[in-house]
A and B are shown apart, each in its own frame.
Chain A
Amino acid sequence: MNKHTTANLKAQKISGGVATDQRHDSAHKHVSGTAVYIDDMPEPSGTLHGCLGLSTATHATITSMDLSAVRAAPGVVDVLTAKDVPGENDISPTGRHDEPVLADGKVQFFGQPIFCVIAETREQARRATRLAKVEYKELPFITDIGALDRKKDKLVTPPLILKRGDAAAAIKAAPRRLKGQMRIGGQEHFYLEGHIAMAIPGEDQDVTIYSSTQHPSEIQHMVSHALGVPSHAVTVEIRRMGGGFGGKETQGNQFAALAAIAAKKHHRAVKIRPDRDDDMIATGKRHDFLVDYEVGFDDEGNILGVDFMFAARCGFSADLSGPVTDRALFHCDNTYFWPAVHAQSAPLYTNTVSNTAFRGFGGPQGMVAAERVIDEVAFAVGKDPLEIRKKNFYGTSDRNITPYHQTVEDNIIHRIVAELEASSDYARRRRTIDAFNANSRFIKRGLALTPVKFGISFTATHYNQAGALVHVYTDGSVHLNHGGTEMGQGLYVKVAQVVAEEFQIDIDQVKITATTTGKVPNTSATAASSGSDLNGMAAQNAARQIRDRLTNFAAEKYQVPRDQVLFLPNRVRIGNQEIAFADLVRQAYMARIQLSAAGFYKTPKIHWDRDKGEGRPFYYFAYGAACSEVSVDALTGEYVVERTDILHETGRSLNRAIDLGQVEGGFIQGMGWLTTEELWWDDKGRLRTHAPSTYKIPLASDRPKIFNVTLADWPEASEPTVHRSKAVGEPPLPLGMSVLHALSDAVASVADHRICPRLDPPATPEHVLMAIERLKREAKGSA
C-alpha cells in the first residue's frame, strides 16, 4: 500500500466532489507566484526570441522593404519574411486563405505583421525591429463601416438571414412603428498575460509548441500548414493561460507559427512574446456593430414585428466573423418573442485588425440591440421599460419559437425576473429615484433591470464534441487529461470534481494535467461556454469505462452481482466487505484489467441548417437578470454604479464558488465593455488605444457600491448535462447591460422620460454628457 495516501476510508463524502465549493486547483500557486505561465518556464539553452515587425501603413502595397539594418543589429540571428514560410503562408482558421502569417507585398491594416526578427534576446529583437525601412504605396482605406453599403460592399464571409413570419408586413400593419440605428462598440480582451508561444524543435519534422491558446488543435493545424508537415509532427501544450476571453481562440496562431518556423530553421528553441502594445494592435477584438432596426408595435407596447440589419466591422479577414455575426443574429431576440422577425448580418471588410471571438461571441451585441428596441417601444408608449420587457417575454407553452425556429423549451425568465424584481425592490426604488431626480439639478439617478437568455452550444454542430484521457495508477491515484484549456475559468477543477465523483475518491487523488494535442486529439476550442459541458462529460465517460471495468472485475472476483459493487468515498463495497479504492485498483492491475480509458462526448439533439436558417443550434439556454442603479453628474457625464443585484442560474452547479466568480467577473467585464472601454482609431486608421494607459477596463473602484449576486438555487438543466449543471462562461457578461440601461434611464430624466436617449455603448462620461445635452435640446425643441 502506498504510504503517501492518507485517504479517509470512513468518510461520509469525498472531498471535492461535484456541487462543492472546491477552490481553484491552482489558487495556492497563483497567490505564491509559483503557477507557471509560458514565460515563466525555464528556457532551453540557446533560446532565441522573436519580435514582429508591424505595418506602418493602413492599406498599401509594399514597394520596398530594406531590412539590412535590422539584420546588422546586435544579436539578430534572422529576419523572417513571407518567403521564409516553408508551407502555406496562411493561418485563416476557417480555411478562407485570407490571413497570411506575414503579409506578402500588401498590407491591409495598420499594425499587420510583415516580418519577424529573431535575436538572441527579446530586447535585441525589439530594438532591431525598429530599424526596418519599409516603403509603401498607400491605397484608399476603410476603417469605419458607417458609410458602407451593407448589401453591396465587400464582405469577409457570407451573411446570414433569419426570418420567421413576414416582418415587413407585420411592421407595416402595426398601429405604431419606429426605426433607428445604434452603434455598439468593440472590446479589447486585455487578458493580463499577453500572447506568447515557445517552440522547441525535435527530431525529424517534429516541433513542440507551448502556446497560450484556447485552441491547441487549431494551433497544431496552423503550424503544420505553415511548416508543410503532417499534424503528427506538431505537438501543442498549454497548462494555463493568464486569461483568454476568446482572444486566444485563433489569435495565437501567428505567434506559434512564427516561433515554429524559426525553431525548425535554426534548430533552437524560439520564444515570441509581443509587447502589450503590439499585442493590442496586431490581434483582433470584439466586433463592433452598427445596427439598423425597425419595429412595429401597439399602444400597449406589444411588439408585433422587428427587422434588424447587423453590420459588423470585421477587419481585413474572415477569422471567426461568420459565426460571430451569426451568433449576434441568434441573440437578437434575447428573452423576447418576436411574432414576425427578419434579421440579417453584414460582415463587412475593413482595413482594421481582423476582429475575433470575445466572450459572448456576438451574442451580447445581438442582445444589446434587442434591448434598444425594447427601450424605444417603452419610451414611445410611455411605460417603464421593465413593463415592456415582461410583456414581450417568450412564453413557456406558446409564443416560444425563436427567429431560427428553435422552440424555447426551458424558459425560466419569468421567475428569474420576478424574483429579482422583488429582491431588488425595483418598484419602490423606481419611485424614490423619480422623486430624487425631480429635486436634483445636477445629479440624476437611473435604474434598470435587464434579462439575459444565452444559447449554449457551438453553432457549428461538429465542434460539439470532446475527448478525455483518464489513467488510474496502481496506487489509486488518477491522471486526468482532456481537450479543454484552463484560462482561469476553473474548468480543470470542475472536470476533476466530476472524475473524483465518478470514482468516489478525494479530489487530491486526481492529478490535473496540461492540455496537449498528444493526449487528446482533434479537440474543439475551449469556447462557447462549453468547456465543462463537453469535457466534463468526456471525462465522466472515461472514468465510467474504468469504473465499469473495476465493477465487473470485482463482481467476478468476489462472486457478487454487479449491483453489489458500490463505490463509496475512497473505498468500494463489494457484497458485505469494503476495501480501499486503491486496493481494488491494485488487484485489478494484477488481474490485467485496463486502467486507462479515452472518453468521448458529443452533444445530442442539435442541428443547424444555415442556408435555411432553421434548426436547433442550441442544446439549452442559460438565464439571468441584473438590476442596476447609477448616479450621473449632468455637468460632466461622470457616473458611479450605486447598486447592482443579480440573479443568475447555472443549473445544478458543479461548483457554486467558481460559478459565482464567473458571474461577478462576467458582469464587470460586460459593464466595462458598455461603459469605459473605448477603442479609438485616428484619421490615419491607427488604433490609438493600445495599452492600459489609454484603454480603460474596470477597476475595483468601478464595482457597484452595493453588489448582491445570487445564484438561483432552484433551476436544473432541462437536458441531461453533466450532473444537470449549466454553462456559465459567457451568459453573465450581458448582465452588464443593466448598467447601460440605468445610465440611459438617468439621461432620460433630463427630458422627463419622454425621449428615448439612444445612448450608444460604450457609455463613456463623454457619451453620457453628450446624450444629456442632446436630450435637453430635443426637449426644448419639442416644448
Chain B
Amino acid sequence: MAKVKTRNEIRFILNGEDIALGMVAPDETLLDWLRLDRALRGTKEGCAEGDCGACTVLVGRLSAGRLVYESVNACIRFLGSLDGTHVVTVEHLRGDGEKLHPVQQAMVDFHGSQCGFCTPGFVMSLYALWMRSPEPSDAAIEKALQGNLCRCTGYEAIVRAARAISSYGKAAKDPLAAERKAVTAKLAAMKDGSRIEIGAGKQRLVVPADADDLAAVFDNEPGATLVAGSTDVGLWVTKHMRAISPAIFIGNLDGLCAISEDKGVISIGAGVTYSEAFSMLAKRIPALGPLFDRIGGDQVRNMGTIGGNIANGSPIGDTPPPLIALGARLILRRGDKRRTIPLEDFFIAYGKQDRRPGEFVEAVHVPVPARGTKFAVYKITKRRDEDITAALGAFFLTLARDGRVADIRIAYGGMAATPKRAFGVEKALLGKPWTEETVQVAMGEYANDFTPLTDMRASAEYRALAARNLLLRFFVETSGTKVPIQVSRHEAA
C-alpha cells in the first residue's frame, strides 16, 4: 500500500471564515466549539443527544463532487469529523441589506416562535428544506421537522411559515446558492488525500485518507473507536462521558460511501448515510422508504449510517431486521482481508458481534427482492416519528404457484437481545397455503420464538401481542386488500 501523506490539522469553512485547527480533542462536539470557543450562541443545546434539534446547523460537503448542505445536530457531531466541510450556523443567515432571511421573515410573520429557544434549529431545518425544495408539500415539511421539537407553538404556525417561505425570496438567489462554485472549489481543494492525525495518547484522533487507509490504521490500532455518523457514539460522550480516544472518523471516506447495484445486489458502503441510501433503496425496495422516513429526523438521517446501525449491534437498530429478512450479507474487512457472512450471523448476543480485532464493517450486500416476492417492514413506536423502536418486524415471502409458502423469512427487532429470526413462526408457515387460517396457527408460535422484555418503551405483553399481529397485517396486505389497513399521516405520500 502506498504511504499516504499526513496532516495535523482539520480544515473547514465556518460561515464565511476559513478555519484550520491543529488542536482538536477527539470528543469535542461542534456545538461546544461553536458556543464556547467561537461565542456563536445562536445555536442552542436542548438535549445533547441529537433528539430535539435546537442545535441544528447545516454542514455542506462534497458528495460525489457535488456540494450538498445537510442539517445535522451539532450537539453530537464531533468537531474532528468536519474536515473539508462548510459549517453554516444561524448567524450566517441574512436577507437583502439589513432584512431578515426569507425563512426568518416567514417565521416572524406567521408567529412561528413563542419562547424562541428551539427557533434557530427550526430555521436551519427549514432553510435546508427550502434550498432543496422551495415549494415543499406538507408531508415534506413534516418530514423535514421530524428532528425538531417545539413545546410552545403546537407547530401549526411553523408549518404555515414553512409553506410561505418562497413568497419571501427565491432559493436560487440565496447567498449559499450564489456562493456554490467558490465553496465547491474551496472544499475540493481541502481534500488533499491526506490522513489527518491530531493529538496523542488520550486525546488522539485520526481521519483516514480513504477506506484502504482506514484498513491500515485500524489494523494497527484495533482498540480505536470507529466513528461514522456519531449518532450513537456522540451520546457515549455527551451522556456517558466515555473516552473514545483514539477515535477514527470514517464518515465521508472515499471507498466507503458508495451505494451501487450489480446483478440484483445492492452494495451499501459502511459510510453511506440513511439520507444517501434513501433514493436507491426506496426505489428498488419500496417498503424500506417509509421505514427510513421514521428513523430519527433529517439531522440523524444525514449523519447516521447503515453500517453504523449494524456495527453497533443494538437489538433495536431499525435496519438489521429488514436486511436479515432480505438475506443481506455483511462484508467485514481487516487490512486487505475480507470475509462475507450472512448478516444475521453477525449478531451473537447482546453487545457481542462477530467482529474480530481490527476488523470493520466495510459494506452490506442486499439482494433486491425478486419479482413476485412480497416484502414488508413494520415499525412500532410510542410516537410515530423520531422514536426508537419498541418492536419492528420484517417479512419476506415467496409464494409457490399453488399459493403455498415456498419461502419465508421473518426477523424482528426489539423482541430479543439481538435482531432475531422468528424460526418457529417461519416453520409453521412454510409449505402451507397462505391463508388466514395458516397465519392464525403460526401466530401461536411467537410465544416460542420470543420472550420480550418490559421497559420504558413497551411492556412485554404489548410487544408480544403487537409483534404477533404484524404477521396478520402482513397477510392481509399481501392478500389483495383494497383498503389500507394501517393508519397513515399522508395518503399516498
A residues lining the B interface (CB < 8 Å)? 23-24, 26-37, 39-40, 42, 123, 126-127, 130, 189-194, 240-245, 275-277, 440-443, 487-490, 631-633, 635-640, 657-658, 660-661, 664-669, 676, 678, 680, 682, 688-689, 691-694, 696-703, 705, 707, 709, 764-766, 769-770, 773
Contact between B104 and A688, CB atoms less than 8 A apart: no
| Chain A residues with CB below 8 A from B451, complex form | none
Residue among A35, A190, A442, A770 with max Cβ neighbours from chain B (10 Å) = A442
Q: Cβ of B382 < 8 Å from any Cβ of A?
A: yes
Partner of B111, one of A489, A661, A668, A709: A661
Distance of A13 Cα from B141 Cα, bound (Å): 38
Distance of A638 Cα from B462 Cα, bound (Å): 12
Contact between A24 and B111, CB atoms less than 8 A apart: yes
Contact between A30 and B47, CB atoms less than 8 A apart: no
Interface string of B311-345 (1 = CB under 8 A from A): 00000000000000000000000000000000000
Contact between B149 and A697, CB atoms less than 8 A apart: yes
Interface residues in B289-309 (C-beta closer than 8 Å to A)? none
Could you tell me the distance in whole angstroms from the C-beta of B475 to the nearest C-beta in chain A?
Answer: 11
> Could you say which of B207-215, B348-356, B414-422, B480-488 contacts chain A?
B480-488
Say whether, besides A127-B241, A192-B117, A766-B462, A636 and B469 are in contact (CB < 8 Å). Answer: yes
| Chain A residues with CB below 8 A from B455, complex form | 680, 688
Q: Cβ of B52 < 8 Å from any Cβ of A?
A: yes
Contact between A664 and B486, CB atoms less than 8 A apart: no
Partner of B108, one of A27, A127, A638, A703: A27
Could you tell me the distance in whole angstroms from the C-beta of B296 to the nearest C-beta in chain A?
Answer: 10
Say whether, besides A440-B483, A669-B151, A697-B149, A31 and B44 are in contact (CB < 8 Å). Answer: no
24 interchain pairs, CB-CB under 8 A? A30-B116, A31-B112, A32-B93, A33-B41, A34-B42, A35-B116, A191-B117, A192-B118, A193-B44, A194-B46, A442-B473, A443-B485, A487-B115, A490-B114, A631-B487, A635-B472, A638-B384, A640-B384, A680-B455, A691-B51, A698-B155, A699-B149, A703-B156, A703-B159
> Could you say which of B258-266, B269-277, B385-393 contacts chain A?
B385-393
Contact between A665 and B47, CB atoms less than 8 A apart: no
Residue among A189, A698, A699, A773 with max Cβ neighbours from chain B (10 Å) = A699
Contact between A24 and B113, CB atoms less than 8 A apart: yes
Would you call the interface of chain A mostly helix, strand, loop, or mixed? loop
Say whether, besides A277-B239, A696-B382, A699-B146, A31 and B100 are in contact (CB < 8 Å). Answer: yes
Distance of A637 Cα from B143 Cα, bound (Å): 22
| Chain A residues with CB below 8 A from B149, complex form | 190, 192, 692, 697, 699
Partner of A192, one of B54, B380, B462: B54
Interface string of B434-471 (1 = CB under 8 A from A): 00000000000000000000011111011001100110
Could you tell me the distance in whole angstroms from the C-beta of A642 to the nearest C-beta in chain B?
Answer: 9
Distance of A664 Cα from B473 Cα, bound (Å): 35
Distance of A487 Cα from B115 Cα, bound (Å): 6
Say whether, besides A31-B100, A680-B456, A243 and B470 are in contact (CB < 8 Å). Answer: no
Contact between A32 and B100, CB atoms less than 8 A apart: yes
Distance of A40 Cα from B100 Cα, bound (Å): 21
Closest to B471 in A: A635
Interface string of B146-168 (1 = CB under 8 A from A): 10111111111111000000000
Say whether, besides A31-B104, A766-B459, A241 and B156 are in contact (CB < 8 Å). Answer: no
Interface string of B107-146 (1 = CB under 8 A from A): 1110111111111100100000000000000000111011
| Chain A residues with CB below 8 A from B470, complex form | 635-636
| Chain A residues with CB below 8 A from B120, complex form | 30-33
Closest 9 CB pairs of A and B: A33-B42, A488-B115, A242-B117, A30-B116, A668-B154, A488-B114, A692-B51, A696-B383, A31-B104
| Chain A residues with CB below 8 A from B113, complex form | 24, 26-27, 30-31, 488
Closest to A490 in B: B114
Interface string of B17-59 (1 = CB under 8 A from A): 0000000000000001001000101111111110110100000
Closest to A655 in B: B111
Partner of B150, one of A24, A37, A192, A241: A192
Interface string of B369-403 (1 = CB under 8 A from A): 00000000010111111111010000000000000
Contact between A766 and B382, CB atoms less than 8 A apart: yes
Would you call the interface of chain B mostly helix, strand, loop, or mixed? loop
| Chain A residues with CB below 8 A from B156, complex form | 664, 668, 703, 707, 709
Contact between B473 and A693, CB atoms less than 8 A apart: no
Closest to B458 in A: A766
Contact between B241 and A764, CB atoms less than 8 A apart: no
Could you tell me the distance in whole angstroms from the C-beta of A693 to the nearest C-beta in chain B?
Answer: 5
Could you tell me the distance in whole angstroms from the C-beta of A578 to the nearest C-beta in chain B?
Answer: 33
Distance of A28 Cα from B484 Cα, bound (Å): 44
| Chain B residues with CB below 8 A from A676, complex form | 382-383
Contact between A635 and B469, CB atoms less than 8 A apart: yes
Say whether, besides A23-B108, A657-B111, A699-B383, A40 and B153 are in contact (CB < 8 Å). Answer: no
| Chain B residues with CB below 8 A from A658, complex form | 111
Q: How many residues of B contact A (CB 8 A)?
A: 88
Distance of A327 Cα from B62 Cα, bound (Å): 58
| Chain B residues with CB below 8 A from A441, complex form | 485
| Chain A residues with CB below 8 A from B5, complex form | none
| Chain B residues with CB below 8 A from A39, complex form | 35, 41, 45
Contact between B146 and A242, CB atoms less than 8 A apart: no
Closest to A680 in B: B456
Closest to B387 in A: A696
Contact between A633 and B115, CB atoms less than 8 A apart: no
Distance of A39 Cα from B36 Cα, bound (Å): 10
| Chain A residues with CB below 8 A from B107, complex form | 27, 30-31
| Chain A residues with CB below 8 A from B483, complex form | 440, 443
Closest to B157 in A: A661
Q: Cβ of B476 < 8 Å from any Cβ of A?
A: yes
Contact between B241 and A130, CB atoms less than 8 A apart: yes
Distance of A29 Cα from B143 Cα, bound (Å): 26
Contact between A31 and B157, CB atoms less than 8 A apart: no
Closest to A631 in B: B487
Contact between A702 and B153, CB atoms less than 8 A apart: no
Say whether, besides A33-B120, A635-B473, A693-B51, A245 and B114 are in contact (CB < 8 Å). Answer: no
| Chain B residues with CB below 8 A from A489, complex form | 114, 152
| Chain A residues with CB below 8 A from B487, complex form | 443, 631-633, 638-640
Contact between A665 and B154, CB atoms less than 8 A apart: yes
Contact between A192 and B151, CB atoms less than 8 A apart: yes
Contact between A705 and B118, CB atoms less than 8 A apart: no
Contact between B123 and A640, CB atoms less than 8 A apart: no
| Chain A residues with CB below 8 A from B469, complex form | 635-636
| Chain B residues with CB below 8 A from A26, complex form | 113, 116
Contact between B461 and A770, CB atoms less than 8 A apart: yes
Contact between B155 and A699, CB atoms less than 8 A apart: yes
Could you tell me the distance in whole angstroms from the C-beta of A137 to the nearest C-beta in chain B?
Answer: 28
Q: Cβ of B173 < 8 Å from any Cβ of A?
A: no
| Chain A residues with CB below 8 A from B388, complex form | 693-694
Contact between B154 and A770, CB atoms less than 8 A apart: no
| Chain B residues with CB below 8 A from A277, complex form | 239
| Chain B residues with CB below 8 A from A126, complex form | 241
Contact between B485 and A701, CB atoms less than 8 A apart: no
Contact between A661 and B153, CB atoms less than 8 A apart: yes
Distance of A678 Cα from B454 Cα, bound (Å): 14
Could you tell me the distance in whole angstroms from the C-beta of B118 to the nearest C-beta in chain A?
Answer: 5
| Chain B residues with CB below 8 A from A680, complex form | 455-456
Distance of A130 Cα from B239 Cα, bound (Å): 12
Q: Cβ of B90 < 8 Å from any Cβ of A?
A: yes
Known pairs A28-B104, A638-B486; list 16 more (Cβ under 8 Å): A24-B116, A26-B116, A30-B107, A40-B41, A242-B115, A443-B483, A443-B487, A693-B51, A700-B145, A701-B142, A701-B145, A701-B146, A701-B489, A707-B156, A765-B380, A765-B381
Distance of A144 Cα from B109 Cα, bound (Å): 47
Contact between B473 and A700, CB atoms less than 8 A apart: no
Contact between B117 and A37, CB atoms less than 8 A apart: yes
Could you tell me the distance in whole angstroms from the C-beta of B336 to the nearest C-beta in chain A?
Answer: 39
Distance of A333 Cα from B146 Cα, bound (Å): 38
Could you tell me the distance in whole angstroms from the C-beta of B273 to the nearest C-beta in chain A?
Answer: 19
